[in-house]
């Protein structure tokens, strides 16, 4: 794993964020995440202004690892890089986007859930894959089964992961980190519940720490 991947793995969780009002919410959200011991964020392109949110979060907290999620085009990769983003996450395995990220020197985590995906990722020289949607695709049982023929990968499951099952996932040695939106829901963000976000981040970090003992 590269240095960024190692740092993400040490934290163990990656908040997956949809920001509808980046000018209002990006900085206080970054404050809340860092206060909770989670200086990492995947800002999805499912909402307009994702690049602006990445820029604001990165400028306000240079120590944060802020990246883009739901990246579907090479143009969005360019927007991510221009905004200071550190990584790209795609919902599926798009070989063109992966190779474009590699050419641009930005870390990419493509969504992979099948042996065909994993095999293609192996040929692309990847080390860490997003497993999405995790629970709906077979969850931890499938991740463990896939690790048998593909032991070279670390995995970031996203989709259906929350406080109740975070520990189970985090205890698995092939898990790099778990992505989730439970600590950054629309209700929490839109209503400015920054202290609650910080508390959920602290709980998440503690669960990961306990699970990895």
Active-site residues, by number, are 42, 130
Residues 88, 73: Cα–Cα separation, whole Å: 11
Strand order in the sheet with 40-44: 107-110, 87-90, 65-69, 40-44, 13-17, 178-180
Task: Count Cβ neighbours within 10 Å for each residue of 79-118 and write b for 16 or more, e otherwise.
Answer: bbbebbbbbbbbbebbeebbebbeeeebbbbbbbbeeebb
Q: Using CA atoms, how far apart are residues 104 and 126, in angstroms rounded to an integer?
A: 15
Query: What is the Cα–Cα distance from 88 to 80, expressed in whole angstroms?
Result: 8
Packing angle of the helix pair 194-211, 22-35 (nearest 10 deg): 40
Longest CA–CA separation in the chain, Å? 46
CB 5, CB 12: distance < 8 Å: no
């Amino acid at each position: 794993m590269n240095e960024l991947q190692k740092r993400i793995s040490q934290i163990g969780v990656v908040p997956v964020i949809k920001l509808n009002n980046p000018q209002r919410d990006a900085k206080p959200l970054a404050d809340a995440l860092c206060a909770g011991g989670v200086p990492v964020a995947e800002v999805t392109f499912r909402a307009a202004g994702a690049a602006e949110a990445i820029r604001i979060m990165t400028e306000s907290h240079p120590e944060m690892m802020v990246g883009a999620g739901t990246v579907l085009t090479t143009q969005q990769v360019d927007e991510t890089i221009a905004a200071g983003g550190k990584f790209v996450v795609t919902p599926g395995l798009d070989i063109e986007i992966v190779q474009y990220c590699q050419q641009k020197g930005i870390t990419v985590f493509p969504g992979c859930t099948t042996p065909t995906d994993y095999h293609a990722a192996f040929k692309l020289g990847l080390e860490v894959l997003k497993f999405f949607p995790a629970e709906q695709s077979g969850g931890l049982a499938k991740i463990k089964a896939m690790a048998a023929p593909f032991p070279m990968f670390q995995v970031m499951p996203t989709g259906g992961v929350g406080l109740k099952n975070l520990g189970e996932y985090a205890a698995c040695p092939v898990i790099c980190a778990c992505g989730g939106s439970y600590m950054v829901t629309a209700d929490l963000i839109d209503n400015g519940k920054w202290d609650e976000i910080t508390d959920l981040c602290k709980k998440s970090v503690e669960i990961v720490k306990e699970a990895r003992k």
